[in-house]
Structure 1
């Protein structure tokens, strides 16, 4: 393991990382993103392998967890930054100063919708998106399809909310959800607070595709019309609806309950 120190804000590599840290457009163009913090870096090492670049602050060199990660990075380019330069890249306050620069995967969209999946129609909050991916992975769902207008799957905020789930699941972006639903070989279930049928009334022992929509507007009407079922999550309190991330978790684990019950 060889450590290289960069101490200038004008260094071309540092400028590139600063763009990745601050610009979704830059991340999309470069096909790269930043993983921030020990947990995400450990998850990447476990499920993917060594990153192209590992960045740590001078202070973090004294941290025992960081020392282990640096050793596991093997032939990765390992960079040390002064604390001030590192903190300009990181969005995590009071965390352990370690970042991976990684390539975002290019997935080939399947021809048909044939296994349990999640379809996201304009879900815009990074925290919601990351939580949905995390719950989906925990429930054994392997695919997430993002329609236009859905937040970028590989932004640092989404990645932190996903807690490493991105590395266990295939994520497809800019998907024509209407065309995908029309090619579905499995039921497509859209959540709607106005539906009469409850998710508990559905047969979820089979593979299904869950369709969730925008935090305020819900699923677009033309997509609702294409769904096999529209279902609601019943609740007792005087609340109009659940947060989309909470709704997704309830749906996924009702499916898990049905699939694992005797």
Structure 2
């Protein structure tokens, strides 16, 4: 700020996590306390560029000039085969996933959070309802295998540097309860457009269409394979919504009907005739 002539100006610096990488914004004004105006003409070329270069040299920073623009950061699932199932390696791998998901995504329940974490082979686990960890409101993080089953050593939430405990998550749940209406509308519109045609389609086909829009539907099924729930993970807006929270027509049962799928008297899935498929 001093090098570009704003050292005496009031300013605000804040961090954003609404993109693939965290970044800072800086806001100030160009009217000085005596009413004079700070000249902004070619400020970038005249002062900002030389200041940046000087600061890079002074603090030994990576130089921006001449660097090719890299692709947007993309979080990858934990590579199960590369993780040694000991405490240190598992903890490091889980931390890398938590550091992004907990801070960037908006979720209002443990189920919604796990809908995201499971895509990166991680599970936030409270244990069964009769377990000591559940009764004492504890929480563990675990690595999942390709079949979605926990493997290796569970890591207590309290042992991580940022302490992503159940208490911490519950505060996140409360703060994330209120979302922007447009975030819900984006998912609903994507579903409605995908189901515009009059023919029946499979749930998996619907999933493929939604994933093209950056929306990953997570299907919850019973032991018998019955679909009883859907959670939508929008990787574009970083929002997670349970289907029923978007409206009845986006719940598991309604989506099956809109896809043209019903359960017959024998408890088996079958497609409805095209003239009976409801897309509304």
Structure 1 length as normaliser, TM-score?
0.28
Structure number with the bigger relative contact order (C-alpha 8 A, sep ≥ 6) is: 1
Q: State which structure, 1 or 2, has the greater radius of gyration over its C-alpha atoms.
A: 2
Structure 2 length as normaliser, TM-score?
0.26
